[in-house]
A and B are shown apart, each in its own frame.
Chain A
Protein backbone atom coordinates (compact mmCIF):
# COMPACT_ATOMS: atom_id res chain seq x y z
CA UNK A 1 0.00 0.00 0.00
CA UNK A 2 1.35 3.44 -0.83
CA UNK A 3 2.28 5.55 2.13
CA UNK A 4 -0.18 8.38 2.49
CA UNK A 5 0.98 10.93 5.03
CA UNK A 6 -0.94 14.09 5.94
CA UNK A 7 0.04 16.60 8.62
CA UNK A 8 -2.68 18.81 10.10
CA UNK A 9 -0.75 21.76 11.45
CA UNK A 10 -0.64 25.52 12.07
CA UNK A 11 2.31 27.42 10.67
CA UNK A 12 3.65 29.08 13.88
CA UNK A 13 3.12 26.04 16.14
CA UNK A 14 6.42 24.80 17.61
CA UNK A 15 4.67 21.47 18.22
CA UNK A 16 3.80 21.16 14.53
CA UNK A 17 7.34 22.11 13.56
CA UNK A 18 8.66 19.13 15.53
CA UNK A 19 6.72 16.73 13.32
CA UNK A 20 7.70 18.59 10.14
CA UNK A 21 11.37 18.24 11.08
CA UNK A 22 11.05 14.54 11.93
CA UNK A 23 9.34 13.80 8.60
CA UNK A 24 11.99 15.80 6.72
CA UNK A 25 14.83 14.02 8.52
CA UNK A 26 13.34 10.71 7.38
CA UNK A 27 12.78 11.94 3.82
CA UNK A 28 9.03 11.25 4.05
CA UNK A 29 6.82 12.89 1.44
CA UNK A 30 3.70 14.29 3.05
CA UNK A 31 0.82 16.66 2.47
CA UNK A 32 0.91 19.71 4.76
CA UNK A 33 -2.50 21.16 5.65
CA UNK A 34 -2.68 24.45 7.55
CA UNK A 35 -5.65 24.61 9.92
CA UNK A 36 -7.64 27.72 10.80
CA UNK A 37 -7.77 27.24 14.56
CA UNK A 38 -10.83 29.47 14.86
CA UNK A 39 -12.60 27.22 12.36
CA UNK A 40 -11.24 23.72 12.74
CA UNK A 41 -11.74 21.34 9.84
CA UNK A 42 -14.07 18.34 10.13
CA UNK A 43 -11.02 16.16 9.50
CA UNK A 44 -9.17 17.61 12.50
CA UNK A 45 -12.18 17.16 14.78
CA UNK A 46 -12.62 13.59 13.52
CA UNK A 47 -8.93 12.68 13.82
CA UNK A 48 -8.37 14.30 17.23
CA UNK A 49 -11.75 14.25 18.96
CA UNK A 50 -10.18 14.20 22.44
CA UNK A 51 -8.03 17.33 22.32
CA UNK A 52 -9.09 18.89 18.98
CA UNK A 53 -5.57 20.23 18.58
CA UNK A 54 -2.81 20.28 15.99
CA UNK A 55 -0.46 18.75 15.06
CA UNK A 56 -2.14 15.54 13.93
CA UNK A 57 -0.14 13.15 11.77
CA UNK A 58 -2.38 10.97 9.62
CA UNK A 59 -0.61 7.90 8.22
CA UNK A 60 -2.66 5.80 5.82
CA UNK A 61 -5.82 7.21 7.35
CA UNK A 62 -4.82 6.60 10.99
CA UNK A 63 -4.19 9.56 13.29
CA UNK A 64 -1.28 10.06 15.67
CA UNK A 65 -1.81 12.96 18.08
CA UNK A 66 0.52 14.84 20.47
CA UNK A 67 3.79 16.05 18.97
CA UNK A 68 6.18 13.93 21.06
CA UNK A 69 4.11 10.81 20.41
CA UNK A 70 4.11 11.62 16.67
CA UNK A 71 7.88 12.25 16.55
CA UNK A 72 8.54 8.89 18.22
CA UNK A 73 6.08 7.24 15.84
CA UNK A 74 7.89 8.73 12.81
CA UNK A 75 11.21 7.53 14.25
CA UNK A 76 9.88 3.99 14.66
CA UNK A 77 7.80 3.70 11.47
CA UNK A 78 10.63 5.01 9.24
CA UNK A 79 13.48 3.34 11.04
CA UNK A 80 15.76 2.91 8.02
CA UNK A 81 17.46 6.31 8.26
CA UNK A 82 18.34 9.17 10.62
CA UNK A 83 17.47 7.56 13.96
CA UNK A 84 16.23 10.24 16.36
CA UNK A 85 16.20 8.23 19.59
CA UNK A 86 19.38 6.38 20.60
CA UNK A 87 19.33 2.60 20.79
CA UNK A 88 20.63 2.35 24.36
CA UNK A 89 17.75 2.27 26.88
CA UNK A 90 19.47 4.60 29.37
CA UNK A 91 20.26 7.20 26.72
CA UNK A 92 16.71 6.90 25.44
CA UNK A 93 15.44 7.61 28.95
CA UNK A 94 17.69 10.67 29.16
CA UNK A 95 16.46 11.95 25.78
CA UNK A 96 12.83 11.48 26.87
CA UNK A 97 13.58 13.25 30.17
CA UNK A 98 14.91 16.36 28.42
CA UNK A 99 12.09 16.36 25.86
CA UNK A 100 9.66 16.26 28.80
CA UNK A 101 11.62 19.11 30.46
CA UNK A 102 11.26 21.21 27.29
CA UNK A 103 7.52 20.45 27.24
CA UNK A 104 7.10 21.39 30.92
CA UNK A 105 9.08 24.60 30.74
CA UNK A 106 9.78 26.29 27.42
CA UNK A 107 6.31 26.87 25.93
CA UNK A 108 4.53 28.04 29.07
CA UNK A 109 7.33 30.20 30.40
CA UNK A 110 8.04 31.53 26.91
CA UNK A 111 4.40 32.54 26.62
CA UNK A 112 4.70 34.54 29.82
CA UNK A 113 7.51 36.59 28.25
CA UNK A 114 5.07 38.02 25.71
CA UNK A 115 1.80 37.79 27.63
CA UNK A 116 2.71 39.37 30.98
CA UNK A 117 4.18 42.58 32.36
CA UNK A 118 5.99 43.95 35.38
CA UNK A 119 7.10 41.52 38.08
CA UNK A 120 5.41 38.54 36.45
CA UNK A 121 7.38 39.24 33.27
CA UNK A 122 10.66 39.64 35.16
CA UNK A 123 10.12 36.33 36.95
CA UNK A 124 9.27 34.60 33.66
CA UNK A 125 12.40 35.94 31.95
CA UNK A 126 14.59 34.68 34.78
CA UNK A 127 12.89 31.25 34.80
CA UNK A 128 13.23 31.06 31.01
CA UNK A 129 16.95 31.78 31.04
CA UNK A 130 17.44 29.32 33.93
CA UNK A 131 15.72 26.60 31.88
CA UNK A 132 17.84 27.35 28.80
CA UNK A 133 20.99 27.22 30.93
CA UNK A 134 20.08 23.76 32.20
CA UNK A 135 19.66 22.70 28.58
CA UNK A 136 23.09 24.17 27.78
CA UNK A 137 24.63 21.99 30.48
CA UNK A 138 22.92 18.92 29.01
CA UNK A 139 24.25 19.84 25.56
CA UNK A 140 27.77 20.24 26.90
CA UNK A 141 30.30 20.44 24.10
CA UNK A 142 28.40 18.11 21.76
CA UNK A 143 27.40 19.61 18.39
CA UNK A 144 23.82 18.39 18.97
CA UNK A 145 21.86 17.00 21.90
CA UNK A 146 21.82 13.79 19.85
CA UNK A 147 25.62 13.78 19.66
CA UNK A 148 27.21 14.00 16.24
CA UNK A 149 23.82 14.16 14.54
CA UNK A 150 20.40 15.64 15.28
CA UNK A 151 18.34 13.62 17.70
CA UNK A 152 15.06 13.63 19.57
CA UNK A 153 15.87 16.50 21.94
CA UNK A 154 17.17 18.68 19.08
CA UNK A 155 13.89 18.13 17.16
CA UNK A 156 11.85 18.89 20.29
CA UNK A 157 13.64 22.12 21.20
CA UNK A 158 14.74 23.83 17.96
CA UNK A 159 11.22 24.98 16.94
CA UNK A 160 11.21 27.43 19.86
CA UNK A 161 14.23 29.19 18.32
CA UNK A 162 11.98 30.90 15.77
CA UNK A 163 9.99 32.29 18.71
CA UNK A 164 13.05 33.71 20.51
CA UNK A 165 12.95 36.98 18.59
CA UNK A 166 9.31 37.47 19.65
CA UNK A 167 10.13 36.61 23.30
CA UNK A 168 13.15 38.96 23.31
CA UNK A 169 11.37 41.87 21.66
CA UNK A 170 8.20 41.64 23.76
CA UNK A 171 10.11 40.90 26.95
CA UNK A 172 12.91 43.40 26.26
CA UNK A 173 15.80 41.03 26.92
CA UNK A 174 18.48 39.21 24.98
CA UNK A 175 19.07 35.48 25.12
CA UNK A 176 22.46 35.14 23.37
CA UNK A 177 24.62 36.91 26.01
CA UNK A 178 23.15 34.57 28.66
CA UNK A 179 23.14 31.39 26.57
CA UNK A 180 25.77 31.65 23.84
CA UNK A 181 26.27 27.90 23.59
CA UNK A 182 22.57 27.29 23.04
CA UNK A 183 22.33 30.00 20.36
CA UNK A 184 25.38 28.53 18.63
CA UNK A 185 23.63 25.13 18.70
CA UNK A 186 20.46 26.68 17.25
CA UNK A 187 22.35 28.32 14.38
CA UNK A 188 24.10 25.01 13.72
CA UNK A 189 20.68 23.30 13.50
CA UNK A 190 19.41 25.98 11.10
CA UNK A 191 22.16 24.94 8.67
CA UNK A 192 20.20 21.76 8.12
CA UNK A 193 17.53 21.87 5.43
CA UNK A 194 15.17 19.63 7.42
CA UNK A 195 15.06 22.39 10.03
CA UNK A 196 15.39 25.57 8.01
CA UNK A 197 12.54 24.47 5.75
CA UNK A 198 10.33 23.54 8.73
CA UNK A 199 10.63 26.76 10.74
CA UNK A 200 8.83 29.98 9.79
CA UNK A 201 10.57 33.35 9.59
CA UNK A 202 11.04 34.78 13.10
CA UNK A 203 9.75 38.20 11.97
CA UNK A 204 6.49 36.58 10.88
CA UNK A 205 6.23 34.80 14.24
CA UNK A 206 6.75 38.16 15.99
CA UNK A 207 3.99 39.78 13.91
CA UNK A 208 1.72 36.84 14.80
CA UNK A 209 2.50 37.34 18.50
CA UNK A 210 1.68 41.06 18.23
CA UNK A 211 -1.66 40.11 16.74
CA UNK A 212 -2.31 37.60 19.57
CA UNK A 213 -1.40 40.23 22.17
CA UNK A 214 -3.91 42.59 20.58
CA UNK A 215 -6.59 39.86 20.58
CA UNK A 216 -5.88 39.12 24.23
CA UNK A 217 -5.92 42.82 25.12
CA UNK A 218 -2.26 42.94 26.18
CA UNK A 219 -0.37 46.11 25.32
Chain B
Protein backbone atom coordinates (compact mmCIF):
# COMPACT_ATOMS: atom_id res chain seq x y z
CA UNK B 1 0.00 0.00 0.00
CA UNK B 2 1.29 3.45 -0.83
CA UNK B 3 2.20 5.54 2.18
CA UNK B 4 -0.23 8.36 2.76
CA UNK B 5 0.96 10.87 5.30
CA UNK B 6 -1.00 14.00 6.17
CA UNK B 7 -0.08 16.57 8.81
CA UNK B 8 -2.85 18.78 10.22
CA UNK B 9 -0.97 21.77 11.55
CA UNK B 10 -0.89 25.53 12.13
CA UNK B 11 2.05 27.47 10.73
CA UNK B 12 3.23 29.14 13.95
CA UNK B 13 2.77 26.15 16.25
CA UNK B 14 6.07 24.98 17.78
CA UNK B 15 4.38 21.64 18.38
CA UNK B 16 3.54 21.26 14.70
CA UNK B 17 7.09 22.27 13.77
CA UNK B 18 8.42 19.32 15.77
CA UNK B 19 6.55 16.87 13.56
CA UNK B 20 7.56 18.71 10.37
CA UNK B 21 11.23 18.43 11.36
CA UNK B 22 10.94 14.73 12.25
CA UNK B 23 9.27 13.93 8.90
CA UNK B 24 11.91 15.96 7.04
CA UNK B 25 14.77 14.24 8.90
CA UNK B 26 13.36 10.90 7.76
CA UNK B 27 12.79 12.06 4.19
CA UNK B 28 9.05 11.31 4.39
CA UNK B 29 6.83 12.86 1.74
CA UNK B 30 3.66 14.23 3.29
CA UNK B 31 0.74 16.54 2.67
CA UNK B 32 0.76 19.62 4.90
CA UNK B 33 -2.68 20.96 5.73
CA UNK B 34 -3.01 24.30 7.46
CA UNK B 35 -5.93 24.49 9.92
CA UNK B 36 -7.97 27.58 10.74
CA UNK B 37 -8.11 27.18 14.51
CA UNK B 38 -11.20 29.39 14.75
CA UNK B 39 -12.93 27.06 12.27
CA UNK B 40 -11.50 23.58 12.72
CA UNK B 41 -11.94 21.14 9.86
CA UNK B 42 -14.24 18.11 10.18
CA UNK B 43 -11.16 15.97 9.60
CA UNK B 44 -9.35 17.49 12.59
CA UNK B 45 -12.38 17.04 14.85
CA UNK B 46 -12.75 13.46 13.65
CA UNK B 47 -9.07 12.59 13.99
CA UNK B 48 -8.54 14.26 17.39
CA UNK B 49 -11.95 14.18 19.09
CA UNK B 50 -10.42 14.13 22.60
CA UNK B 51 -8.33 17.34 22.43
CA UNK B 52 -9.38 18.85 19.05
CA UNK B 53 -5.85 20.25 18.67
CA UNK B 54 -3.07 20.29 16.12
CA UNK B 55 -0.69 18.79 15.23
CA UNK B 56 -2.30 15.56 14.12
CA UNK B 57 -0.25 13.18 12.01
CA UNK B 58 -2.43 10.93 9.86
CA UNK B 59 -0.62 7.85 8.52
CA UNK B 60 -2.62 5.72 6.11
CA UNK B 61 -5.82 7.11 7.63
CA UNK B 62 -4.85 6.52 11.27
CA UNK B 63 -4.30 9.53 13.54
CA UNK B 64 -1.43 10.14 15.95
CA UNK B 65 -2.00 13.08 18.31
CA UNK B 66 0.32 14.98 20.69
CA UNK B 67 3.57 16.24 19.16
CA UNK B 68 6.06 14.22 21.24
CA UNK B 69 4.08 11.05 20.61
CA UNK B 70 3.99 11.77 16.88
CA UNK B 71 7.76 12.43 16.81
CA UNK B 72 8.45 9.10 18.55
CA UNK B 73 6.06 7.38 16.13
CA UNK B 74 7.86 8.85 13.11
CA UNK B 75 11.19 7.76 14.63
CA UNK B 76 9.93 4.19 15.10
CA UNK B 77 8.15 3.75 11.77
CA UNK B 78 10.86 5.29 9.55
CA UNK B 79 13.70 3.72 11.46
CA UNK B 80 16.02 3.21 8.51
CA UNK B 81 17.60 6.66 8.72
CA UNK B 82 18.36 9.52 11.11
CA UNK B 83 17.45 7.91 14.45
CA UNK B 84 16.11 10.57 16.81
CA UNK B 85 16.06 8.57 20.05
CA UNK B 86 19.23 6.76 21.13
CA UNK B 87 19.21 2.96 21.38
CA UNK B 88 20.44 2.75 24.98
CA UNK B 89 17.53 2.68 27.47
CA UNK B 90 19.21 5.08 29.93
CA UNK B 91 20.05 7.63 27.22
CA UNK B 92 16.48 7.29 25.94
CA UNK B 93 15.19 8.02 29.44
CA UNK B 94 17.38 11.13 29.62
CA UNK B 95 16.14 12.35 26.23
CA UNK B 96 12.51 11.81 27.29
CA UNK B 97 13.18 13.65 30.58
CA UNK B 98 14.49 16.73 28.80
CA UNK B 99 11.71 16.73 26.21
CA UNK B 100 9.24 16.59 29.11
CA UNK B 101 11.14 19.48 30.80
CA UNK B 102 10.76 21.54 27.62
CA UNK B 103 7.05 20.75 27.51
CA UNK B 104 6.59 21.74 31.15
CA UNK B 105 8.57 24.97 30.95
CA UNK B 106 9.27 26.63 27.63
CA UNK B 107 5.82 27.13 26.07
CA UNK B 108 3.97 28.29 29.20
CA UNK B 109 6.70 30.54 30.54
CA UNK B 110 7.35 31.91 27.05
CA UNK B 111 3.66 32.69 26.75
CA UNK B 112 3.73 34.65 29.99
CA UNK B 113 6.47 36.84 28.54
CA UNK B 114 4.17 38.20 25.84
CA UNK B 115 0.87 38.09 27.73
CA UNK B 116 1.87 39.78 30.98
CA UNK B 117 3.42 43.00 32.22
CA UNK B 118 5.25 44.39 35.23
CA UNK B 119 6.32 42.05 38.02
CA UNK B 120 4.66 39.01 36.45
CA UNK B 121 6.55 39.56 33.22
CA UNK B 122 9.85 40.10 35.05
CA UNK B 123 9.36 36.83 36.93
CA UNK B 124 8.57 35.02 33.67
CA UNK B 125 11.68 36.37 31.95
CA UNK B 126 13.85 35.25 34.86
CA UNK B 127 12.26 31.78 34.92
CA UNK B 128 12.64 31.49 31.14
CA UNK B 129 16.35 32.30 31.17
CA UNK B 130 16.88 29.86 34.06
CA UNK B 131 15.17 27.09 32.09
CA UNK B 132 17.31 27.83 29.03
CA UNK B 133 20.45 27.78 31.19
CA UNK B 134 19.53 24.33 32.51
CA UNK B 135 19.18 23.20 28.91
CA UNK B 136 22.60 24.70 28.13
CA UNK B 137 23.98 22.60 31.00
CA UNK B 138 22.49 19.48 29.45
CA UNK B 139 23.86 20.36 25.99
CA UNK B 140 27.35 20.86 27.38
CA UNK B 141 29.91 21.03 24.60
CA UNK B 142 28.06 18.65 22.27
CA UNK B 143 27.08 20.08 18.89
CA UNK B 144 23.51 18.82 19.41
CA UNK B 145 21.55 17.43 22.34
CA UNK B 146 21.58 14.18 20.36
CA UNK B 147 25.38 14.24 20.21
CA UNK B 148 27.03 14.44 16.79
CA UNK B 149 23.68 14.56 15.04
CA UNK B 150 20.27 16.01 15.86
CA UNK B 151 18.10 13.97 18.18
CA UNK B 152 14.79 13.95 19.99
CA UNK B 153 15.56 16.85 22.33
CA UNK B 154 16.85 19.02 19.47
CA UNK B 155 13.60 18.40 17.58
CA UNK B 156 11.51 19.11 20.71
CA UNK B 157 13.27 22.42 21.48
CA UNK B 158 14.39 24.09 18.25
CA UNK B 159 10.87 25.21 17.16
CA UNK B 160 10.76 27.65 20.08
CA UNK B 161 13.75 29.47 18.56
CA UNK B 162 11.37 30.90 15.96
CA UNK B 163 9.46 32.49 18.86
CA UNK B 164 12.52 33.99 20.63
CA UNK B 165 12.41 37.25 18.65
CA UNK B 166 8.74 37.71 19.68
CA UNK B 167 9.55 36.91 23.34
CA UNK B 168 12.54 39.29 23.34
CA UNK B 169 10.72 42.15 21.64
CA UNK B 170 7.55 41.88 23.75
CA UNK B 171 9.55 41.29 26.92
CA UNK B 172 12.26 43.85 26.14
CA UNK B 173 15.18 41.53 26.88
CA UNK B 174 17.88 39.66 25.02
CA UNK B 175 18.48 35.94 25.24
CA UNK B 176 21.90 35.60 23.53
CA UNK B 177 23.99 37.43 26.17
CA UNK B 178 22.54 35.14 28.83
CA UNK B 179 22.57 31.91 26.81
CA UNK B 180 25.24 32.18 24.10
CA UNK B 181 25.79 28.39 23.91
CA UNK B 182 22.10 27.75 23.32
CA UNK B 183 21.84 30.42 20.62
CA UNK B 184 24.93 28.94 18.93
CA UNK B 185 23.21 25.54 19.04
CA UNK B 186 20.04 27.00 17.53
CA UNK B 187 21.93 28.63 14.64
CA UNK B 188 23.71 25.32 14.07
CA UNK B 189 20.32 23.58 13.80
CA UNK B 190 19.03 26.23 11.38
CA UNK B 191 21.88 25.23 9.01
CA UNK B 192 20.01 21.99 8.47
CA UNK B 193 17.34 22.05 5.78
CA UNK B 194 15.01 19.81 7.79
CA UNK B 195 14.89 22.56 10.41
CA UNK B 196 15.13 25.75 8.32
CA UNK B 197 12.29 24.61 6.05
CA UNK B 198 10.10 23.68 9.01
CA UNK B 199 10.36 26.93 10.97
CA UNK B 200 8.55 30.14 10.05
CA UNK B 201 10.26 33.51 9.84
CA UNK B 202 10.61 34.96 13.36
CA UNK B 203 9.36 38.34 12.09
CA UNK B 204 6.11 36.71 10.95
CA UNK B 205 5.77 34.98 14.33
CA UNK B 206 6.23 38.37 16.04
CA UNK B 207 3.53 39.94 13.84
CA UNK B 208 1.23 37.02 14.69
CA UNK B 209 1.89 37.60 18.41
CA UNK B 210 1.00 41.30 17.98
CA UNK B 211 -2.31 40.24 16.39
CA UNK B 212 -2.99 37.90 19.32
CA UNK B 213 -2.12 40.60 21.85
CA UNK B 214 -4.54 42.98 20.17
CA UNK B 215 -7.28 40.32 20.20
CA UNK B 216 -6.71 39.52 23.86
CA UNK B 217 -6.59 43.19 24.74
CA UNK B 218 -2.99 43.07 25.92
CA UNK B 219 -0.97 46.16 25.12
Contact A96 B90 (CB under 8 A): no
Contact A93 B73 (CB under 8 A): yes
CA distance A64 to B98 in the complex (A): 11
A-B contacts, 7 listed (Cβ < 8 Å): A59-B90, A68-B100, A70-B93, A73-B90, A76-B92, A89-B73, A134-B50
Asked whether A97 and B65 contact (CB < 8 A) given A66-B100, A69-B97, A90-B73, the answer is yes
Query: Which residues, 204 to 219 on A, are CB-close (under 8 Å) to B?
Result: none
CB distance from B85 to the nearest CB of A (A): 10
CB distance from A182 to the nearest CB of B (A): 16
Which chain B residues lie closer than 8 Å to A90 at the CB level? 59, 62, 64, 73
Contact B92 A93 (CB under 8 A): no
CA distance A92 to B66 in the complex (A): 13
CB distance from A160 to the nearest CB of B (A): 18
Instruction: Tell me the nearest residue of chain B to A99, going by C-beta.
Output: B69
CA distance A77 to B65 in the complex (A): 27
Provide the B45-75 mask, 1 if CB < 8 A to any CB of A, else 0: 0000010000000010010111001101100
Partner of A77, one of B70, B73, B89: B89
Interface of B is mostly: helix
Which chain A residues lie closer than 8 Å to B134 at the CB level? 50
CB distance from A171 to the nearest CB of B (A): 23
Query: Which residues, 160 to 193 on A, are CB-close (under 8 Å) to B?
Result: none
Number of residue pairs spanning A and B whose beta carbons lie under 8 angstroms apart: 55
Which chain A residues lie closer than 8 Å to B100 at the CB level? 66, 68-69
Contact B76 A92 (CB under 8 A): yes
Most buried by A among B62, B72, B73, B89: B89
Verify if A65 is at the interface (C-beta below 8 Å from B): yes
Which chain B residues lie closer than 8 Å to A77 at the CB level? 89-90
Verify if A72 is at the interface (C-beta below 8 Å from B): yes
Contact B92 A73 (CB under 8 A): yes
Query: Which residues, 121 to 148 on B, are CB-close (under 8 Å) to A?
Result: 134
CA distance A92 to B77 in the complex (A): 11
Interface residues on A, range: 20 to 34
Chain A interface residues (CB < 8 Å from chain B): 50, 59, 62, 64-66, 68-70, 72-73, 76-77, 89-90, 92-93, 96-97, 100-101, 134
Instruction: Tell me the nearest residue of chain B to A92, going by C-beta.
Output: B76
Asked whether A96 and B69 contact (CB < 8 A) given A66-B97, A69-B96, the answer is yes
Verify if B101 is at the interface (C-beta below 8 Å from A): yes
CA distance A92 to B70 in the complex (A): 11
CB distance from A112 to the nearest CB of B (A): 19
CB distance from A83 to the nearest CB of B (A): 13
Contact A93 B72 (CB under 8 A): yes
Partner of B93, one of A69, A89, A92: A69
Contact A100 B90 (CB under 8 A): no
Contact A100 B73 (CB under 8 A): no
Contact B96 A72 (CB under 8 A): yes
Most buried by A among B62, B77, B96, B134: B96
Q: A72-B93, A97-B64 are in contact. List 4 more A-B contacts (CB 8 A).
A: A69-B93, A89-B73, A93-B69, A97-B65
Which chain A residues lie closer than 8 Å to B101 at the CB level? 50
CA distance A62 to B92 in the complex (A): 13
Partner of A73, one of B64, B66, B72, B89: B89
Partner of A93, one of B64, B89, B90: B64
Instruction: Tell me the nearest residue of chain A to B65, going by C-beta.
Output: A97
Instruction: Tell me the nearest residue of chain B to A96, going by C-beta.
Output: B69
Instruction: Tell me the nearest residue of chain A to B131, going by C-beta.
Output: A50
Which chain B residues lie closer than 8 Å to A50 at the CB level? 101, 134
